[in-house]
Structure 1
């Protein structure tokens, strides 16, 4: 079954069939050919994930992010980031990284962040004299921080695959997310200094910083209050996501006073579309997982890794290399749901903490979002900047070094994720 499913799935990806449909067709064909699983059971497996209570958090977090990012708040966040780091070398690139880190605590989605921030900051950087390729590269790479900063949608998906605490994952991912941010800001600083990029000279005033901080405070508090509610056991992840929507409505209506029916309608439509895409992949991956588990593929792969590679260092290296390759061709949610069961089995076999494994998977597959040939945020940045993909990739190599360095640290220093 697995060989049939893998072959069909690869063929349909070559034919540009959407990932969700390709997974359903490939897994469905494998089930029908094998005949061991009744069709009714296969259909039940498809719809089983839609009954998962924790997955309700996804549409609500998407909605809260859409409500907050589409209004005045987005401008306030950019002003705050500019007042914080704009005066330094490579300041506007650093503004993008800081903005991505803060927006990550609101949206939880790298793709949404790349679209929203890129449309604001890439044209601004180009007007100020930054190379278009560099502006696109900063946006494409830094937007992936959203995959780690709470409320991270990839981490929610991993928790459903591994039965791991969402609160623990959110807490563990904050440090690597901040490490990525600091590393990318360092790249922007030295790039700006070496290449003499323009700086923002009117942003270092303490008064301006104070005003921008107060204006951006509602967004800055969002990830903090999410983690506190979860870690203190006050609310479940799904309940926190509903509270986040209420929080976004209150902030937009009473603090920024820019909430309109048009914005609510646009946020709802965008949430339905995004949730539909994610849920299609989730339901499809449930059937794929059924095929893999039926043939004991995760267990067999874990046994093979233990017996062949022996050394834990080599096993972790193998997992990382596989994820780096898969992440270049599959989108983040699909890759997590497909690789998750197998890698959780391997991690259990070698005694790796599932929290550490979840952070490693999210960092690793996030790198694929700005890696050709099918990097989603890479394409978004290139389209907004109106430059060829090659020009963006040429500027990306120091950002790859930062991301890979953080990945290696998370892989081999468990204390950084399970502290």
Structure 2
């Protein structure tokens, strides 16, 4: 099964199809299984009620990101940090942090922000490769900020609380944001990047802040509703859509039929990709669990690595390697059951494991050879991947420091 899966990936077959075919082949070799049962294994996970939160959160993000909101957020970020060294890079990081609380998708964020900020940075005299590097690295903050799609997927795999995962992810996301802003400042100062000379009246800054406030409040709104037990994650996702419609239609007054239709089409496409991977991964999970693979791996780790700190280190090294080749949702769904068994064996909190996985696998999104946000940002900037990777070195360092902190300092995971 593993050999077939790797072969299909090397042939550039989409991950979902690779999982289905390799899983089906393994079932036919391991023992006779009726086709109807195999189809049920594919169909079964799509009927999970909590997974309804995914399309609604995607829709709410698409509605809010496609209008005037993006321009308001970029304007606010430039007012706050644009005048400092590496200011336009810091604008990207601040924008990604706020957009992360709206979209929940790193790839959508890299595309939306990159198309606005990378050309602006190049016009102001920033190297295109640096602009692509900042965008590809900072966009992964969306994988942690509520409403995070990867955290929802981990919750379904591990039976963890989505609310607890959302609350626990806020501090690591802000740590990533602060670290990347510091990296932009240091690089900008050392290399003499131009600084924005913006003179804004206090009234203008207050007005911009007030205009962007609905987007800034959205992640807080989501966390409060979940943490207070007012609504389930699925109910909150539907409320978020209503909130996005109200903000776009009443406050910004830029809601059109074309925007709604475009948001719906984007939601259907994105949800289809995610659900295909979820459905296909269930066959692999069935094969692995029926063969006792997660329990066997957990037992091996406890017997041979013994110390929990070494086991956590081994988990992180494995995830860093896998994240270079597999997209984040697929990696969570495939490795989740095995790593949950290991975490239970060593007493590692599942919420901490979920944050570790998301931070770790997010690094893979801007790491070659198959880094999604890396390729999106490089394409927008029209820069070579090698040049962008060179500019990414300080951001890799920041991400690895945050990964070590969330792995070995459980006090940071507050929920």
TM-score computed with the length of structure 2 as normaliser: 0.99
Match of 1:134 among 130, 135, 138: 130
TM-score computed with the length of structure 1 as normaliser: 0.98
Match of 1:53 among 37, 46, 49: 49
How far is 1:45 from its partner?
A: 1.0
Q: Which runs of 5+ in 1 are unaligned?
A: none
How far is 1:196 from its partner?
A: 1.0
In structure 2, the partner of 1:346 is 342
Give the 5 Å matches for 1:5-404: 5-203=1-199, 205-404=201-400
Relative distance call for 1:274 and 1:13 in structure 2 (3 A) is same
C-alpha RMSD over aligned residues: 0.8
How far is 1:212 from its partner?
A: 1.2
How far is 1:37 from its partner?
A: 3.8
Per-residue Cα deviation, 1:103-147 (whole angstroms, up to 9, x for no partner): 000000000000000000000000000000000000000000000
Q: Once structures 1 and 2 are overlaid, which stretch shifts more, 139-148 or 41-50?
A: 41-50
SS in 1 for 2:392: helix
Distance 2:263 2:273 in 1: 15
Per-residue Cα deviation, 1:252-310 (whole angstroms, up to 9, x for no partner): 00100000000001000010000000000000001110000011110000000000101
How far is 1:387 from its partner?
A: 0.5
How far is 1:209 from its partner?
A: 2.0
Per-residue Cα deviation, 1:21-62 (whole angstroms, up to 9, x for no partner): 000000011001111543322211110111100000000000
Match of 2:412 among 395, 409, 416: 416
Task: Tell me if structure 2 keeps the 8 A contact 1:68–1:106.
Answer: yes
Per-residue Cα deviation, 1:49-99 (whole angstroms, up to 9, x for no partner): 111000000000000000000000110010111111111111100000000
Q: Once structures 1 and 2 are overlaid, which stretch shifts more, 189-198 or 99-108?
A: 189-198
Could you list the structure 1 runs, at least 4 aligned residues long, displaced by more than 4 angstroms after superposition.
Answer: none
Distance 1:196 1:263 in 2: 40
SS in 2 for 1:57: helix
Task: Tell me if structure 2 keeps the 8 A contact 1:83–1:208.
Answer: no
Task: Tell me if structure 2 keeps the 8 A contact 1:327–1:365.
Answer: yes
SS in 2 for 1:372: coil
Distance 2:414 2:101 in 1: 20
Q: Once structures 1 and 2 are overlaid, which stretch shifts more, 34-43 or 356-365?
A: 34-43
SS in 2 for 1:257: coil
Distance 1:208 1:96 in 2: 21
Distance 1:341 1:294 in 2: 12
Distance 2:83 2:369 in 1: 35
Distance 1:203 1:362 in 2: 39
How far is 1:418 from its partner?
A: 3.5
Task: Tell me if structure 2 keeps the 8 A contact 1:105–1:149.
Answer: yes
Distance 1:203 1:413 in 2: 42
Distance 1:183 1:217 in 2: 24
Q: Matched residue pairs, number?
A: 415
Distance 2:393 2:190 in 1: 16
How far is 1:203 from its partner?
A: 4.7
Distance 1:190 1:47 in 2: 50
Relative distance call for 1:292 and 1:248 in structure 2 (3 A) is same
